């Protein structure tokens, strides 16, 4: 057994994971909270992305919209990561072999990379495009990529449950 497989086996056989797996209500509760959290994450990100693409909230400065929405996004993301990690731990070895789950993790990495690049590069000159009804191409591209990737994350997450 490889060291990574041994690690995930250890996670799956931990007391917490066994408790989640053995409970008739804990997994469904965690799953429900996870779905609500990811819905909040994707919903709030979509509001910002639609502004970035120039399709919604065009009369509102992007900086103001992001300042209002992103704290909720961050809190919901933290909750989604926590509940998702607990769900994963309940059957780690099985999830690691599910293609949709692996695709979801890859898409999550792409989404986080897109966020990092956006905040590192694109937001630097936000004063130039903050109030523009039609932002520059780089801003539109960041928003469009984000929307597409987060839709992929949700689709792969849902698909994981059916494989």
Residue 1's pLDDT band (cuts 50, 70, 90): low
Q: At residue 2, does pLDDT exceed 90?
A: no
Mind listing the pLDDT tens digit for each residue in 9-50? 898 899 999 999 999 999 999 999 999 999 999 999 999 999
| Alpha-carbon span 40 to 154, nearest angstrom | 12
- Mean pLDDT for the chain? 93
Q: Which residues contact 95 (CB under 8 A, 6 or more apart)?
A: 88, 101, 160
**pLDDT in the model for residue 124:** 86
Instruction: Say which residue the tokens 């996004």 belong to.
Output: 73
**Sign of CA pseudo-dihedral 80, 81, 86, 87:** positive
Percent of the chain with pLDDT over 70: 99
pTM of the model: 0.89
Q: Do residues 150 and 80 make contact, with C-beta atoms less than 8 angstroms apart?
A: no
């Amino acid at each position: 057994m490889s060291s990574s497989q041994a690690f995930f086996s250890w996670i799956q056989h931990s007391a917490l994971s066994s408790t989640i797996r053995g409970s008739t209500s804990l997994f469904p509760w965690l799953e429900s909270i996870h779905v609500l959290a990811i819905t909040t994450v994707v919903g709030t990100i979509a509001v910002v992305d639609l502004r970035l693409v120039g399709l919604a909230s065009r009369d509102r400065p992007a900086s103001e919209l992001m300042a209002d929405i992103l704290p909720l996004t961050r809190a919901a993301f933290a909750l989604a990561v926590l509940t998702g990690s607990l769900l994963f731990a309940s059957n780690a070895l099985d999830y690691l072999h599910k293609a949709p789950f692996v695709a979801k993790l890859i898409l999550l990495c792409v989404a986080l990379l897109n966020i990092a690049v956006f905040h590192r590069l694109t937001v630097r000159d936000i004063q130039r495009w903050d109030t523009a009804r039609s932002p520059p191409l780089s801003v539109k591209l960041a928003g469009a990529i984000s929307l597409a990737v987060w839709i992929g994350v949700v689709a792969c997450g849902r698909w994981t449950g059916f494989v």
